[in-house]
Structure 1
Amino acid sequence: MAAADRERDGRAEPRATPRFRLDQPRPPRRRLLPEYDPEAFGRLSERIARFLGTGRFIVWMTVTITVWVVWNITVPDSLRFDPFPFLFLTLALSLQASYAAPLILLAQNRQDDRDRVNLEQDRKQNERAIADTEYLSREIASLRMGLGEVATRDWIRSELQDLVKELEEQRTGRRVVFPAEERGGSDVGDR
């Protein structure tokens, strides 16, 4: 049946609207701001913060400022690029400080995140160690209780000696205190 016949019968098909397929990714959207990798930026900020916290940075900063000031004081006026109040130097130092502070804070936040993850892992490892220690303590206690019911060599020897004494008493009708002494022997072989 043709599309014209369907329209005449009143069974017009709805217009096909584009359907979004769930099994396919959407096309990427255009963004106004440039994209960047937060991890790469974080690593760069940590490197900068590490460098700002070294003696090398302080030495280079001191040398740069000293050369800047000496140059702008000693050279002729035509070669000076920042006259006496040193406004350009103040601007450069302010700009450096305005970038250094957030970079240092970003590096500290990343370090705090790493510390938090390490502390969580340490806490879980300590919990496992405590659980293992408690389990082993219970096992040792149960072994000790079980060993309390086990006959030891000394206990068996003493029981056998008591039985031998009883048999001797029954056979002779008298009580023998030290049977080895009466026979004239020694008890060395019994040990």
Structure 2
Amino acid sequence: MNDEDTKASADKTPGPRRALDHLRFHSPYGHLGSVFGNDWFALKAEAFARFFGTPLFLVAQTVIVGIWILLNVVGPYKFDVYPFILLNLAFSLQAAYAAPLILLAQTRQADRDKAHAEADAQHREDLANSMEKRQMQMSVQADQLLELLRQNTQLTEMVKDLSQRIEELTLEMHDRVVKQE
């Protein structure tokens, strides 16, 4: 049994054991593309922009800067002396690329958030509509039950009246039979 068969059988399983896709209400919005598309550049740029905020990046950059300064202060090769103009240029270049990449990642995330918010709103609307339908069905069923209860009460009263009439006729017949003897 492969993963698809397992998933298909899990989706048909009733009750709490059923494996639910927690993003199933977002699937109608899966066709929405990002403003920047889903090509390799946009995906790689977003991944790189997300990397800027990680501890690994900060530690690696700190280590590189420390080595750079150490080599230029006490090392045998002094390719960027004290005001560290080349290091400053490298930081400026990094900032020039980082800012647009971060903005690109934020824009793509905003697009995803908007699609998810729309899917959530649509899901809430669908829930409200189904709740309204259920309430209407319950109201109709309650009216039907009241009508059945009324009919049952009428039938019970008719049975009571007929039972009283039978009792009266039985007594009357008994009196006639007893008088004839």
TM norm structure 2? 0.66
Determine whether 1:102 maps to 2:100.
yes
* 1:42–1:110 CA contact under 8 A, matched in 2: no
Counterparts in 2 of 1:132 and 1:56: CA distance versus 1, 3 Å: same
Shift of 1:161: 3.2
* Percent identity for Structure 1 against Structure 2: 37
The runs of 4+ residues in structure 1 deviating greater than 2 Å are: 36-41, 151-159, 169-173
Q: Does 1 or 2 have the higher relative contact order (CA < 8 Å, sep 6+)?
A: 2
CA separation in 2, counterparts of 1:99 and 1:67?
23
Q: Which residue of 2 aligns with 1:44?
A: 44
What stretches of structure 1 of length at least 5 have no aligned partner? 1-35, 174-191
Q: Which residue of 1 aligns with 2:119?
A: 121
Q: Contact (CA 8 Å) 1:72, 1:84: kept in 2 or not?
A: yes
Kindly state the Cα deviation for residue 148 of structure 1 after the two structures are TM-superposed. Answer: 1.1
Which is greater in Rg? Answer: 1
Structure 2 residue aligned with 1:146: 144
Cα distance in 2 for residues equivalent to 1:38 and 1:83: 43
Q: Does 1:165 align with 2:164?
A: yes
Is the contact made by 1:51 and 1:57 (CA closer than 8 Å) also made in structure 2?
yes
Gaps of 5+ in 2: 1-35, 173-181
What is the TM-score of this pair, normalised by structure 1?
A: 0.63
Deviations 1:109-154 (A, max 9, x none): 0110111112112212221221121112111101111121115897
